[in-house]
């Protein structure tokens, strides 16, 4: 019998399995994207950095697999691998940087909301991975800023931002749903999807302001985001 099955209600077990699956899906996606894009890094150290990030995703996936087993979840790989359809791959180093920057920050906000989860194995996992260094360092951030400093690049930068903002927002769930509220009622998560989205979008606004481009509207974002969260602060 799984260690944690007797310590959570059946509702909590079902919901935690879904949460683990969602996090595992993001690691699966991350490995596929980084493996596809390693050729974009022109120098060996850049390739080493991407390879290290693949290792981070694989390590986290392994830890999620262990938690899933404790929750009597069965084969995690089988549960998530078919969800990878129709996800775009970055086509440039700038797009890869945006992808890494936004998805990493969204993942950190998600993990922070589980630090005090009643699912203790997942809480421990979340705390460990919240302490790791950010995926995108100052040098890569500066390269992205320089790309956006050219007005001719603004349309492409805005298109890329909208694409990966929508994908990264999916990590934060769907505000106002029964599952969102239930996760808090059961003590599995400390923050609602809306609170997490608000924090994340405030950070993204500061980023795009520094790049000199505009925040995309809801019609350009492929995610279920309340209109009020996208309104200018």
* pLDDT score at 233: 59
**Which domains are delineated in the chain?**
5-230 (1.20.1260.10)
The 10s digit of each residue's pLDDT in 147-163 is 999 999 999 999 999 99
Q: Please tell me which residue, 222 or 87, carries the higher pLDDT value.
A: 87
Q: Where are the beta strands (DSSP E) in 42-158?
A: none
Q: Average of pLDDT values for 137-151? A: 91
C-alpha distances in Å from residue 69, one per residue of 77, 150, 223: 12, 50, 30
**What is the DSSP code string of 9-68?**
-HHHHHHHHHHHHHHHHHHHHHHHHHHHHGGG--SHHHHHHHHHHHHHHHHHHHHHHHHH
- SS3 of residue 145 by DSSP: helix
Q: Is the pLDDT of residue 138 over 50?
A: yes
* pLDDT score at 177: 87
* pLDDT score at 41: 83
* pLDDT score at 1: 43
The share of the chain scoring above pLDDT 90, in percent, equals 61
Q: Average of pLDDT values for 56-81? A: 92
The 10s digit of each residue's pLDDT in 176-220 is 888 899 999 999 999 999 999 999 999 999 999 999 999 887 777
């Amino acid at each position: 019998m799984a260690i944690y099955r007797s310590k959570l209600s059946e509702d909590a077990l079902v919901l935690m399995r879904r949460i683990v699956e969602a996090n595992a899906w993001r690691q699966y996606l991350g490995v596929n994207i980084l493996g596809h894009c390693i050729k974009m890094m022109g120098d060996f150290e850049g390739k080493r950095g991407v390879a290290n990030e693949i290792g981070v995703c694989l390590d986290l996936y392994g830890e999620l697999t262990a938690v899933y087993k404790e929750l009597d979840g069965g084969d995690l790989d089988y549960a998530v691998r078919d969800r990878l359809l129709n996800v775009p791959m970055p086509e440039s180093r700038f797009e890869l940087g945006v992808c890494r920057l936004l998805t990493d920050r969204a993942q950190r906000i998600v993990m922070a909301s589980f630090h005090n989860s009643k699912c203790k194995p997942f809480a421990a996992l979340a705390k460990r991975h919240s302490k790791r260094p950010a995926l995108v360092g100052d040098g890569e951030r500066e390269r992205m800023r320089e790309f956006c400093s050219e007005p001719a690049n603004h349309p492409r930068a805005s298109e890329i931002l909208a694409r990966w903002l929508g994908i990264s927002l999916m990590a934060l769930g769907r505000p106002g749903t029964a599952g969102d509220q239930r996760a808090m009622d059961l003590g599995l998560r400390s923050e609602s999807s809306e609170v997490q989205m608000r924090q994340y979008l405030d950070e993204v606004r500061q980023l795009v302001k520094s790049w000199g481009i505009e925040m995309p509207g809801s019609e350009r974002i492929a995610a279920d985001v309340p209109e009020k969260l996208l309104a200018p602060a």
